[in-house]
């Protein structure tokens, strides 16, 4: 069979998530590997560079990088045979516009060989996520999933919601697709198994049961309300329930309830009844629950109007633990099978794969992806495209959700485009804005002051671009909104000038941040009036920025919504019609900035409320702080203690005791 040259050009090395930080060395799969750089002659570019590189390439598997004249990685791909794969780029014909542009910008190439193609697939996924090459398809949503953690780094295990790296010893259950789902489940599990959720420091400092014990959401192991052995039995029951043995746990609780009732111990029977009700609430809110699928992730893809939606459902312990929709930016020429294959190969780069993965489409290299995921997981991972039964129903349900989600997104995008166009015309902008940055401040009489920036564009609110600014300057008078706004804008645009100059090295305007989105805003909105606008213009003038549209939106008389006044340079302040959709859009932008600023301020204030003076002592880590609090009860007790008393604390040597003693005496 003759291979389709166009299909060969569409290498599925694509779907990636936002990186945490650029790596020092992208090759984390095999640090011993060394990249071979294809030397180029001055003036060579595009096909000439590729043809020179082909001469020394091996026929074995590996990963290649295409790099432009500025050193930016344009594309990362894997190949079963590096020589054959790279040779396809040198043909010069049959390429899509995307590939033709990528080839023309290639100034050099780098290669690394691997032992197997599955290793190449894993390395490719790792590098795409971290390097974010411009010509690889980008998955914009990289929010980490939430898990339920039963932490076992303490004699009395605790239950908590967890995100991020798994550095805490314990058992992790998930993923949960939404924070709401995991919070509700944790609350229900607290009622069912009475596990503690407090931090170890709070646990050690308790002298009497807390409110959670009073409302029957904790069994009170901190103060001995329950023996540690009995508490560990509750932990075991919770573990069994989350591990798929829910029916056995419920039968056991029901038996205990019946036994207590027969003994006429109705108070104990009521406690078991409440625990059973809590477990039932966990299961009743799970949506569709498969009868024959204990653990699986279900992927379904739908394409329409040049856009793609991948819907992912998570099933654990025969229960639906939620779903999430992804909208990857992909070339229109890519088929659903190619996009789904690329998505799947990189989706599990930072999360464990389940034992079963169900797909809506048959993807290329399915066996290779299955082998790579099994290699990473250290156990068998099965990938299947079901044709009948419960599994097919799950895939069909996910596909329907993918169609619905993409339909909603297309409708929202059309509405958003009309609003952006209307805003541009209303404010007299030279073109329709593609990136709007809105700034706001929040504080209480100058305390816990923060600045906030939100971003909106054709896709709506771009929450991964939001930024918060802790006000640092000691020269700002508490409550000086103008001063805070000056600091925020100074920091924002000074950094932007440094990291993303408005003119590229070749003299053309720089309109891309690597993901295709503009790094510079087309419009800056400020919550305020003429004074805030003057402060912004002063900052912009000092930074040499003269052509950036700026507008300030102040509340009207009596601060009534709908009577806002718009202030712009060289224009008289004006109001919009009360029912103008653009006015509602401006209100949404302002309200979102205000919401984000208030939330950031509250988080900072809450953190300061619970901060202990012991946190500020260099050399006193969590273990020593726990020992001090356990011995003295509170931080005030530690502060009042004498040097001799501090030395008596288990785990505190003389040097540390003197460090703590001197710290509090210097503060006093």
Range of the domain at 25: 5-131
Specify if 416 maps to a domain: no
447 and 578 within one domain: yes
**Mean predicted confidence (pLDDT) in 393-419:** 85
**C-alpha dihedral (331, 521, 562, 603), degrees to nearest 10:** 90
398 and 252 within one domain: no
249 and 116 within one domain: no
For the segment 470-512, what is each residue's pLDDT rounded down to a tens digit? 876 666 666 567 777 888 888 888 888 887 776 544 444 444 4
For the segment 214-250, what is each residue's pLDDT rounded down to a tens digit? 888 898 999 989 899 889 888 888 887 777 666 677 7
Domain end call among 585, 608, 631:
608
Helix runs in 17-66, H state only: 47-54
For the segment 552-584, what is each residue's pLDDT rounded down to a tens digit? 988 766 555 567 889 998 888 888 887 788 888
Please choose, from the candidates 547, 552, 509, 518, the residue with its C-alpha nearest in 3D space to the C-alpha of residue 434: 518
Specify if 395 maps to a domain: yes
Q: CATH number of the domain that 57 lies in?
A: 3.40.1440.10
265 and 403 within one domain: no
Mean pLDDT of the chain: 78
152 and 21 within one domain: no
Strands (E), 44-156: 62-67, 73-79, 108-113, 146-151
C-alpha 551/C-alpha 568 separation (Å) is 5
Q: How many domains does the chain have?
A: 5
577 and 440 within one domain: yes
Choose between 408 and 108: higher pLDDT.
Answer: 108
pLDDT of residue 390: 85
452 and 383 within one domain: no
b or e along 354-369 (b: 16 or more beta carbons within 10 Å of the residue's beta carbon)?
Answer: bebbbbbbebebbebb
70 and 21 within one domain: yes
Specify if 426 maps to a domain: no
Task: Using the predicted structure, report yes or no on whether residue 325 has a pLDDT greater than 60.
Answer: yes
Choose between 606 and 442: higher pLDDT.
Answer: 442
Indicate the pLDDT class of residue 587, thresholds 50, 70 and 90: confident
pLDDT of residue 301: 94
Q: What is the DSSP string of 498-521?
A: HHS-SB-TTSSB----SSSS-SS-
Task: Using the predicted structure, report yes or no on whether residue 270 has a pLDDT greater than 80.
Answer: no
Indicate the pLDDT class of residue 24, thresholds 50, 70 and 90: very low
Please choose, from the candidates 87, 108, 105, 81, the residue with its C-alpha nearest in 3D space to the C-alpha of residue 5: 87
Domain end call among 608, 640, 658:
608
* CA-atom Rg of the chain in angstroms: 29
249 and 102 within one domain: no
The three-state DSSP-derived secondary structure of 246-307 is: HHHHHHHHHHHHHHHHHCCCHHHHHHHHHHHHHHHHHHHCCCCCCCCCCCEEEEEEEEECCE
271 and 163 within one domain: yes
CB 89 within 8 A of CB 33: no
Indicate the pLDDT class of residue 141, thresholds 50, 70 and 90: low
pLDDT of residue 480: 67
Please choose, from the candidates 456, 401, 375, the residue with its C-alpha nearest in 3D space to the C-alpha of residue 122: 375
Please choose, from the candidates 185, 181, 180, 153, the residue with its C-alpha nearest in 3D space to the C-alpha of residue 167: 153
pLDDT of residue 509: 44
Please state the φ and ψ torsions of residue 106, each to the nearest 5 degrees.
-70, 125
Domain end call among 284, 315, 333:
284
pLDDT of residue 611: 58
C-alpha 486/C-alpha 539 separation (Å) is 7
Task: Using the predicted structure, report yes or no on whether residue 20 has a pLDDT greater than 50.
Answer: no
What are 416's strand-pairing partners?
Answer: none
Residue 444: strand, helix, or coil: strand
629 and 561 within one domain: no
Task: Using the predicted structure, report yes or no on whether residue 400 has a pLDDT greater than 80.
Answer: yes
> Which stretch of 89-98, 157-166, 526-535, 603-612 has the lowest confidence by average pLDDT?
603-612
Choose between 561 and 331: higher pLDDT.
Answer: 331
Task: Using the predicted structure, report yes or no on whether residue 303 has a pLDDT greater than 60.
Answer: yes
Q: CATH number of the domain that 659 lies in?
A: 1.10.150.20
C-alpha 90/C-alpha 174 separation (Å) is 46
Indicate the pLDDT class of residue 273, thresholds 50, 70 and 90: confident
pTM of the model: 0.57
C-alpha 282/C-alpha 181 separation (Å) is 10
Specify if 580 maps to a domain: yes
Task: Using the predicted structure, report yes or no on whether residue 188 has a pLDDT greater than 50.
Answer: yes
For the segment 202-213, what is each residue's pLDDT rounded down to a tens digit? 888 888 888 899
Specify if 420 maps to a domain: no
Specify if 292 maps to a domain: no
36-37 and 146-151: which strand pairing? unpaired
Choose between 265 and 642: higher pLDDT.
Answer: 642
For the segment 506-522, what is each residue's pLDDT rounded down to a tens digit? 444 444 444 445 688 99
């Amino acid at each position: 069979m003759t291979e389709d040259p166009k299909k060969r050009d569409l290498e599925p090395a694509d779907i990636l998530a936002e990186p945490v930080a650029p790596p020092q060395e992208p090759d984390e799969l095999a640090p011993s590997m060394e990249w071979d750089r294809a030397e180029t002659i001055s003036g060579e570019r595009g096909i000439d560079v590729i043809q020179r590189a082909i001469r020394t390439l091996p026929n074995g598997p590996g990963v290649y990088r295409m790099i432009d004249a500025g050193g930016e990685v344009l594309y990362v791909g894997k190949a079963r045979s590096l020589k054959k794969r790279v040779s396809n780029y040198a043909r010069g014909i049959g390429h899509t516009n995307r590939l033709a542009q990528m080839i023309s910008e290639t100034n050099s190439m780098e290669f690394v060989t691997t032992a197997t193609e599955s290793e190449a697939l894993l390395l490719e996924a790792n590098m795409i996520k971290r390097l974010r090459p411009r010509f690889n398809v980008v998955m914009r949503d990289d929010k980490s999933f939430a898990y339920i953690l039963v932490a076992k780094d303490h004699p009395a295990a605790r239950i908590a919601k967890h995100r991020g790296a798994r550095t805490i010893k314990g058992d992790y259950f998930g993923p949960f697709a939404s924070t709401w789902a995991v919070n509700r489940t944790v609350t229900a599990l607290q009622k069912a198994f009475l596990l503690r959720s407090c931090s170890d420091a709070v646990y050690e400092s308790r002298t009497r049961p807390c409110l959670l014990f009073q409302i029957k959401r904790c069994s009170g192991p901190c103060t001995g309300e329950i023996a540690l052995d009995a508490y560990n039995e509750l932990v075991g029951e919770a573990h069994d329930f989350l591990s798929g043995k829910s029916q056995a746990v419920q039968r056991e609780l029901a038996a205990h309830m019946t036994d207590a009732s027969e003994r006429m111990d109705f108070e104990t029977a009521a406690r078991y009844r409440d625990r059973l009700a809590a477990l039932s609430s966990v299961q009743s809110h799970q949506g569709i629950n498969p009868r024959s699928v204990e653990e699986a992730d279900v992927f379904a893809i739908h394409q329409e109007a040049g856009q793609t939606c991948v819907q992912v459902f998570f099933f654990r312990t025969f229960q639906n633990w939620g779903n999430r929709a992804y909208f990857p930016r992909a070339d229109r020429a890519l088929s659903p099978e190619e996009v789904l294959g690329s998505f799947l190969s990189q989706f599990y780069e930072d999360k464990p794969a389940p034992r079963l993965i169900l797909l809506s489409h048959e993807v290329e290299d399915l066996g290779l992806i299955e082998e790579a995921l099994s290699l990473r997981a250290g156990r068998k991972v099965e990938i299947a495209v079901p044709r009948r039964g419960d599994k097919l129903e799950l895939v069909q349900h996910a596909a329907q959700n993918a169609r619905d989600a993409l339909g909603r997104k297309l409708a929202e995008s059309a509405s958003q485009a009309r609003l952006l166009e209307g805003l541009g015309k209303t404010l007299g902008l030279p073109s329709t804005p593609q990136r709007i940055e809105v700034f706001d401040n929040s504080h209480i009489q100058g305390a816990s002051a923060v600045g906030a920036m939100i971003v909106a564009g054709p896709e709506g609110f771009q929450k991964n671009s939001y930024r918060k600014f802790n006000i640092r300057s000691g020269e700002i008078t508490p409550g000086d909104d103008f001063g805070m706004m000056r600091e925020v804008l100074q920091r924002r645009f000074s950094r932007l000038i440094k990291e993303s100059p408005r003119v590229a090295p070749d003299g053309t305007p720089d309109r891309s941040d690597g993901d295709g989105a503009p790094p510079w805003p087309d419009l800056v909105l400020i919550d305020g009036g003429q004074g805030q606008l003057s402060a912004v213009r002063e900052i912009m003038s000092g930074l040499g920025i003269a052509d950036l549209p700026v507008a300030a939106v102040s509340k009207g008389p009596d601060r009534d919504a709908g009577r806002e006044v718009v202030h712009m340079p060289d224009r008289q302040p004006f109001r919009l019609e009360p029912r103008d959709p653009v006015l509602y859009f401006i209100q949404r932008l302002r309200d979102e900035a205000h919401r984000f600023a208030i939330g950031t301020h509250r988080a900072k204030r809450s953190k300061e409320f619970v901060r202990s003076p012991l946190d500020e002592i260099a050399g006193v880590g969590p273990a020593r702080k726990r020992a001090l609090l356990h011995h003295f009860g509170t931080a005030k007790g530690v502060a009042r203690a004498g040097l001799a008393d501090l030395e008596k604390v288990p785990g505190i040597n003389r040097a540390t005791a003197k460090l703590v003693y001197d710290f509090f005496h210097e503060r006093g």
